[in-house]
Amino acid sequence: MNKKALFNRLKQLGWMSFSLILVLSVTSAVQRKKGSSCEDISIKIKTAENKDSTFITQRDIMDLLSSSFEEEILGNRLDRIDIGRMERVLERNPFIKEADVFIDNKNIIHIEIIQRKPMMRIMDGDGRNYYLDAEGNFMPLSIHYTARVPVATGFIPAHIPDFLERKQYGLKDVFELMTLLSNDSFYKAMIEQVHVSQNGDIILIPKIGGQQILFGNYKKAEEKLERLKIFYDQALPHEGWDKYRLIDIRFSNQIVCRR
């Protein structure tokens, strides 16, 4: 074997030895990491609106994990802690939209929570009282915070998980109307309540003025809202916000006002 071939052979053996040592070192470090214990738990909650808009607290999260796992997390060996299961347990909570759990190099478990943000509140005639977020997910009331969002009242059927997939369902109509209102800056600032009467007619209740807006059913909702916006923009500034007790926009191409 010539010198060049011998040098290449030794070089190859050197790289193989280095790679083997590196693999063994990483494996040993991983094993030591798994065998070490959780030193602390850090919880960060991203609030929906401001620092006080916390539907679920750090204490709630720790209680939820304690009730879902047989062993204590703090002080437990890292190889006995199922990070993926922790995320799944947390994301089953109706206040939590997303949970990210990871362990840093100091053996601290970090839990980062993104809360759901309520879009509307339901207070129906059967006493049910809850929130819906922008995707239609159910959120119970929280003992920690009350969101200031538009309210839907009256004869509204119960929430069911697939209500948005139903062809006809009263809660779906209310939700889709509330979505239209919340996505329009004018109506978001103007309407504070949607009420469903016993015959199914929807009534809008503004924040200002003493009138009610008889909306009717959900059909042609966008056309009705556009017609109403024109009326508010062109007629009411001259007539006055309190002149009419009822504004009826149920029928196409007309608005009927009653004093």
Q: Is residue 72 part of a domain?
A: yes
pLDDT digits (tens, 9 = 90+) for 20-29: 555 444 444 4
- Domain check: are 248 and 142 in the same one? yes
| pLDDT of the residue at 12 | 67
Asked if residue 37 lies in contact with residue 105, where contact means CB atoms within 8 angstroms, the answer is no
**Domain tally, the chain:** 2
| pLDDT of the residue at 121 | 97
CATH of the domain at 184: 3.40.50.11690
Q: Is residue 209 part of a domain?
A: yes
| pLDDT of the residue at 14 | 58
- Domain check: are 141 and 254 in the same one? yes
Q: Is residue 71 part of a domain?
A: yes
Round to whole Å and give the CA distance between 27 and 93.
36
pLDDT over 80 at 102, yes or no? yes
- Domain check: are 69 and 124 in the same one? no
| pLDDT of the residue at 29 | 46
pLDDT digits (tens, 9 = 90+) for 114-158: 999 999 999 999 999 999 999 999 999 999 999 999 999 999 999
CATH of the domain at 93: 3.10.20.310
Domain range spanning residue 203?
Answer: 118-258
- Domain check: are 101 and 180 in the same one? no
Percent of the chain past pLDDT 90, that is, above it, reads: 66
- Domain check: are 86 and 134 in the same one? no
Domain finish residue from 82, 115, 148: 115
